[in-house]
Structure 1
Amino acid sequence: MLKSPYDTDCITWSPQGRLFQIEYAMEAIKQGSLCVGLKSNDYAILATLNRAPSKLAEYQQKLYEIDEHIGLCFSGLTADGRLICKYLRTEALNYKYTHGTNINPQRLVGKLSDKAQIKTQRHSKRPYGVGCLVIGLDENGPHVYETSPDANFYEYYAVAIGARCQSAKTYLEKNYETFSNLSKDELIIHAVKAVKSSAQSDVELNGRSVSVAIVGRDTPFKFLTSDEIEATLSQLSQAMEVEV
């Protein structure tokens, strides 16, 4: 890779108006694990495709609980993702201790973006090399947010980030208009389908390589068990065989 005099820190602009350090961080997300988030009127779901560094290693966890009403998954540098997770848990706990109620998910995502912004304003820092999908529940219902190293955040009906995410995005774009009134089980099937559509053919999908979590109006944040994920994958395989 060619050396550039404009990529030694994240506050030096190139003549073309680019910040290379932030672009490198965004590239790390594109190389990371696939993450999918989607919501209906009553539920929000996160699904991830976990990776193992080698055949002898366990799958790396990419999906975490922040609070009883908020969850997060990330794509990119695992160490940065764990640091962000710890920060969000601390902020959620401090807010609950101070105000006696759960923090609003958008407020928490805003705090994370403010923290990420600081990393782009000091030459001694670097941007977080991780993108996050955050699901949360407030009085208005479930929400899905995406955060990025450039300190922007967005709310979505459905979104996918990570390696080979375009296939999952295409699936979600075709079907997101039907998500509004779906039941919990139907929404889970769509999430797993989106993950399956982007998985490489040589990747084995099972209860360990795929993680799914849900939060809803009548459901505190929880992870699906391996057996539940295996049952969903088996159901999808049977449906595909019938179609063929």
Structure 2
Amino acid sequence: MVWRSLDDDSRAILRRWIQEMVRGMRGFVLDHPHGIRIASMDEFRRYCYYVAGTVGHLLTELWYAHSVFVGPRTFERLGDDCEAFGEALQTVNILKDIAWDAEHENAVYIPADFLAARGSGHDTILAVDRREANLAALEPLMRLAQDDIERALRYIEALPTTALRIRLFCVLPVLFAVATMRELERSDAMLAPGGGVKISRSEVKALVVAGSTSTLSNPSLRWLVDRVRKRPFGLRVP
């Protein structure tokens, strides 16, 4: 029923990018029938493109098709960073859920060559005696996540402040990703059996309120991001 209610342009956009996503993910499923095991950074980035970069394109084309605030010049600027907008969120999710993915999905997305360079591997991703090595193996992905978050922020800044609903839609998940990265950089819980990293409910609530206000200007957004990177937002710290 929802599909039938869409206009032709929206259907074409959805069809194009969903087909791209499905084609790519089908390849990963066929290549890894017993559980995904990422071999290299190139494969990692290809996976993130199909899972999340495609969503960045899809959303950007929908903004252009339906928002009076997204004209040709804005659309062109958004196109430069739309893949990174989606992929940043995906990389952060992968990093925080390493243990869960390994234990519940039989999937390890940390590139094998990063682990091998530190004397570890997919089979020992949660091993206590390899914790330090595995943590070091995450460094390239941590840098990638931070770089893509910066590009995601540029994506948001390219949106006119008059496009409030679109900006809010984009701002909140990026703020949550920034806060999660702060915790990931201080923890190794994501490499412990049954472990994981997440931000508190109180910080989520505080970011929803502050994030709504930060959509009004790019300087406000940058201030909030810098603040969140330093310590949990909305909590009293001695």
TM-score by length of 2: 0.27
TM-score by length of 1: 0.27
Structure with the greater relative contact order (CA < 8 A, sep ≥ 6): 1 or 2?
1
Structure that is richer in strand per residue: 1
Structure that is richer in helix per residue: 2
